[in-house]
Amino acid sequence: MKTYKFKKLLQNSGWLTNASITVDDKGNIVDISTSENQDPSFFGEHSIAIPGFQNAHSHAFQYAMAGLAERHEGTENPDDFWGWREAMYQLALSMNPDQMEAIATMLYSEMARHGYTNVAEFHYVHHDKDGKPYDNLAEMGSRLVAAAKSAGIGITLCPIFYQKGGFGLPPNDRQRRFISATIDEYLKLLEASKAACNHYEQANIAIGIHSMRGVEPTDIAEVAKSGPQDIPFHIHVSEQLKEIEDSIAYLGKRPVEWLLDNVALNERSHLVHATHLTDEETVGIAKSGANVVICPSTEGNLGDGLFPLRKYQEEGGKWSIGTDSHIGLNPLEELRILDYGQRLITHKRNTYFSPKQADGGTYALEMATIAGRKAMNNFEHEYFKIGAPFNACILDGTHPLLVSCSDKSLASTIVYASDSAMQKATISHGRLIVENGRHTKQNEIRNTFGEIMRELGSR
């Protein structure tokens, strides 16, 4: 048993003052209490605890190329999404399983440093460098699970069904490590990936479809109908304008329009990006109960566009955040970028809202937490609950902007005025994995990552 004490702890109903959380040996909460006069704790009497952040969309291997696609000299350099994709293919074709694991471990430890306690890993580098399946179909997925275990965060492994090179097109050779040619091949990969998750108690499985252009649409509908119904269903959709144009040419419908007509979307569905939508599609997603996963720093970096968040929220739509290519890793920064993009196109300031919640910071944390948990197959709405794992992002309450902040303004101060210096520690499944801004295995993980980067020669 271990007890953590905080000056403030965020619950759905508001802030608890002088709160204590006791966890058992498995990291599950056995007691939540408050006291008028609390002794300074392990974190100090001014620590502030909020729910651990949920990273609902990650391509771990792309962390190795973060910052490397920003030079635009000549026609061969990536200057839009499709050019960037070629640089990504080069990296995907170059790494072996050991390198994948080292990159992912580094990434996941950095996610933890920024307050993430869970990640949905949208994983599509499945095969060897020649495009042949490994003896263990889920070899690469197993390495991602091992990386999450080393870093100490939870992982939802989403092995991706990737079949085609575009609408009506065969896969190209640069995609050879990604491909499952048939539904049967994909379901075998899914089963092997599920077995890989058995090696880590904080790992579970989800269905992943690369995109409407990456899988024959009729196969998407079949997997959604006949595949497991008790796990999340993730898919990239409507990220780029060219994707919309190609969909109309091939299907006679826009991607989300087709999905709404042919797939029974529900609260287990997670549509990633969904950047370019009509009003009808926006309303349709919201009414279906599906969730949208928005990746603001990546979508900005790639020039994708801005998701129609205000319209979506007006219809009661639920959303979460992800870091995708990991050009940014701070969840609070993701929330700010998302909000400020909306302010710039609407010329209004009140982006994060609901009829029941007028405080923008409180609303943003609620969406990112609850919808993000759904992406991990966790439908628990209570932030901290007896019997649930204790996952928390710990902030330094001695920061000048937090030390005298009222409860009424505290959440919005954290969301809108924070920087990484405020983020003090991270607790995952009751275990302190980041302390004083450093991952507990930081030196070991960074040294291995440095060696791998020198091997790859990509930086």
Angstrom distance (rounded) from CA 282 to CA 263: 16
Burial of 327 (0-12, 13-18, 19+ CB in 10 A): buried
Query: What b-and-e string marks burial along 446-459, b requiring 16 or more CB atoms within 10 Å of the CB?
Result: eebbeebbeebeee
* Residues whose CB is less than 8 angstroms from the CB of residue 408 and which lie 6 or more positions away in sequence, other chains included: 359
**Under a CB-based contact definition with an 8 Å cutoff, are residues 78 and 84 in contact?**
yes
**Under a CB-based contact definition with an 8 Å cutoff, are residues 120 and 158 in contact?**
yes
- Please give the positions annotated as active site: 273, 324
Name the residue among 301, 160, 157 with its Cα closest to residue 236: 160
Angstrom distance (rounded) from CA 326 to CA 415: 19
Angstrom distance (rounded) from CA 132 to CA 127: 5
Sheet with 14-23: list strands edge to edge. 29-34, 14-23, 2-11, 47-51, 392-396, 423-428, 431-435, 438-439
Name the residue among 314, 371, 361 with its Cα closest to residue 338: 361
Q: Is 319 left (phi over 0), alpha (psi -120 to 50) or beta?
A: beta
